[in-house]
Structure 1
C-alpha cells in the first residue's frame, strides 16, 4: 500500500476517534466491499482489492467508509442550478433576512450515516463582527436536540422552527448548506472529502472579477452573478476533478 494511503488511513481514523464516529459492527464488511467494488472502474479494482485483502480491520473499515462517501460532480452542480435557479435565489434572499445585522452564519445539515453509526446533525458557525474584531462560535455534528445547539441558536434569535424552515428551503433547492455575506455561499453536495458549492454575488460580475473567479481550479465563472466552487478536503483533488 502506498505511503500516502497509509497517512490518509491514519488521519481519517484519528478524525473518527475524535468525533466519536465508529464503524457499525453490525455491517458485514465483505458484503459491503463487494457492493462497492461493482462501481469501481476496472483499472482500479485490482489495486483496491489488494489493499482491502491485505489490510488490517482498521484499514478495511477506512476503505469502506471512504468509498461509501457521497459522490457528486460538476455536471450535477450545473444541472441543479439550471433546474432550481429560482429556489436557490429564494434561499439566498430568505436566509439573509433571518441573520441579524453584523452576523455571518454558516449552517450545514449532515445526513444520518449508518456505516459510521452517526445520527443526523448540524454544523453551525456564528461570526459576530465588532469593529475589526470577529468573534466566532463554531461547533460540528450538533445533535438537533442538544443544549449547545439551543444555546447557539438563541444567541442570534433563532429556534428549532427557524432551523426547520432553513432545512426546508435547502431541501427545495437541493442543497445542503448556506452562509450569508456579501457573497452568499450555498453548498450543493459533498463529494468524497470535497464539496461543490455556488457563490452568489449581489450583482453581475465585472470582466475583471469574472476572470478572477474563473481560475481553472477552485472557481468556474458560470454567468452574471454566479460562480461555481469546488473545495477540496484534507486528501484527494484540490481543484475541480471534472
Structure 2
C-alpha cells in the first residue's frame, strides 16, 4: 500500500510539473496578443450559427475534443448534438449509435452531419487552429461569453473569459472569487478549470487587499 501511494504521488507530481503555465504567462500573452485575441473571439462567434454552442480544443492540428449543442425548435433550450474526445479530423469513422448513446452522447456522431449543420468544412477547422496557434491558445467556446483556453497548469487549464462589454464594478467583483476566476481588465476575466481530479483554488488568483 505504501509503495502504491508513493507511485500515485509521483504520478501526480509529474503531471502537475508539466506545462506549468502561470498567471503571469496568461496576462502577458493577452497584453501581447490582445488585438488578435479579440479578432479570434469575433471570428468564432461569426462562424457558429445562431443558437448553437460549440466547444473545441485542439490536441494537435488534426486531433480535437469537440462538443456541440443545437437549439431545440420553438424553445429557448438546447440539446447535445455531438461530442467526441480525441477526434482525428483526417481519419474519423463513426460507429453505429445505440439509443442510449444518442441520449447521452449526442444525437449524432457523424462529423459530416455536424459540418452541414454548422456550415463548416475542413478549411474551417484548419483556419480556427491557425488563429488559435497565432495567439498561443488551444481551445475556444461560445455562449453568454466567449472562453478562449490558453494552456495547462498541471491537469487544469488557464483561459480568458471575454465579454462583449466592459464589466461594471459589481460584475468585476462577481467574477473575482480569490479562487478559480479573477477580473483582469476591461471585459476580460482570467479563469482556471481544475480538470479531472477535483476542484481547487489557484493562489495566483488571490487578491491582495
Class of the TM-score when normalised by the shorter of the 2 chains: 0.7 to 0.9
Map residues 52-201 of structure 1 onto 2, 5 A cutoff. 55=7, 62=11, 66=15, 69-111=18-60, 121-130=63-72, 131-136=75-80, 137-145=82-90, 146-147=92-93, 148-201=110-163
Listed as ranges, the gaps of 5+ residues in structure 1 are: 7-50, 113-119
Shift of 1:76: 0.4
Q: Partners of 2:13 and 2:153 in 1: how far apart?
A: 15
Q: Partners of 1:210 and 1:94 in 2: how far apart?
A: 25
RCO greater where, 1 or 2, for CA within 8 Å and sep 6 or more?
2
Q: Partners of 2:77 and 2:112 in 1: how far apart?
A: 25
Q: Which runs of 4+ in 1 moved over 6 A?
A: none
- Give the TM-score normalised by the residue count of structure 1: 0.68
- For the Cα contact (< 8 Å) 1:143–1:149, is it kept in 2? no
Cα distance, 1:90–1:2 mapped onto 2, change above 3 Å? farther
For the pair 1:222 / 2:167, whether they are aligned, the reply is no
Cα distance, 1:72–1:135 mapped onto 2, change above 3 Å? same
Q: Residue 21 of structure 1 corresponds to which residue in structure 2? A: none
- For the Cα contact (< 8 Å) 2:16–2:153, is it kept in 1? no
Cα distance, 1:151–1:200 mapped onto 2, change above 3 Å? same
Shift of 1:67: 5.7
| Structure whose CA Rg is larger | 1
What root-mean-square deviation, in Å, do the aligned CA atoms of Structure 1 and Structure 2 show? 2.7
Q: Partners of 1:158 and 1:224 in 2: how far apart?
A: 32
Q: Partners of 2:175 and 2:2 in 1: how far apart?
A: 35
Shift of 1:180: 1.6
Shift of 1:165: 0.6
Cα distance, 1:64–1:209 mapped onto 2, change above 3 Å? closer
Shift of 1:181: 2.1
Shift of 1:182: 2.3
- For the Cα contact (< 8 Å) 1:142–1:149, is it kept in 2? no
- Give the TM-score normalised by the residue count of structure 2: 0.78
